[in-house]
Amino acid sequence: MGEYRVKDIKMAEEGEKLIYWAERHMPVLGMIKERFKEEKPLNGLKITACLHVTKETAVLMKTLLEGGAMVSLSAANPLSTQDHVAAALASIGVHVFAWKGESAKEYYENIDRALSIEPDIVLDDGGDLNVRVHSNRPELANKIIGGCEETTTGVIRALALEKDGILKYPIIAVNEATTKSRFDNV
């Protein structure tokens, strides 16, 4: 089990049931997970995510683990965390730092905790992780090979970093992907 701070690790069993349900409804990611299990394309990489901690996000985190990555996760919104899911992810080795109802101070402390693995790749929803790296942890920015941002707001924040000449790594704008607009934004 990795490092974690969740509401109650004893909630893991219920979280596993929720994740199992999501896995059954996300067949494409399931196929990728099976391929990753065999090929281990992420072996040796460290990935930090600041995303909504939900059963659907858990399927992605499990896929990254199967691919060989070390994974850390903090919440993209202090009110959206599914505590059972956070506990289940912690129980399988994801470094999870999230619980529903985090204060603003705890929220940023948890982002910093997630960054403690010194990631190679970052996954962000809203821009707080990417901005935090560049403003509070610039030594990490030179190590990061790339990241992604899910929201338009986060992309605008990343573009501001670029305009100011301080963006240190490429960021993929997930919200502009055809698959996102055709499936997720419907």
**What is the gyration radius of the CA atoms in the chain, in angstroms?**
16
- Please say which residue of 68, 86, 119 terminates a domain: 119
Buried b (16+ CB within 10 A) or exposed e, 61-99: bbbbbbbebbbbbbbbbbeebbbbbbbbbbbbebbbbbb
Residues 88 and 174 in one domain: no
pLDDT in tens, the chain (186 residues): 779 999 999 999 999 999 999 999 999 999 999 999 999 999 999 999 999 999 999 999 999 999 999 999 999 999 999 999 999 999 999 999 999 999 999 999 999 999 999 999 999 999 999 999 999 999 999 999 999 999 999 999 999 999 999 999 999 999 777 776 666 655
pTM value surpassing 0.85 = yes
Residues 42 and 132 in one domain: no
CATH code, domain with 29: 3.40.50.1480
The CA distance from 180 to 155, in Å, is 14
Number of domains in the chain: 2
The CA distance from 163 to 36, in Å, is 36
Range of the domain at 155: 125-186
Residues 131 and 174 in one domain: yes
Q: Tokens 């992309």, residue?
A: 155
Residues 19 and 103 in one domain: yes
Residues 10 and 88 in one domain: yes
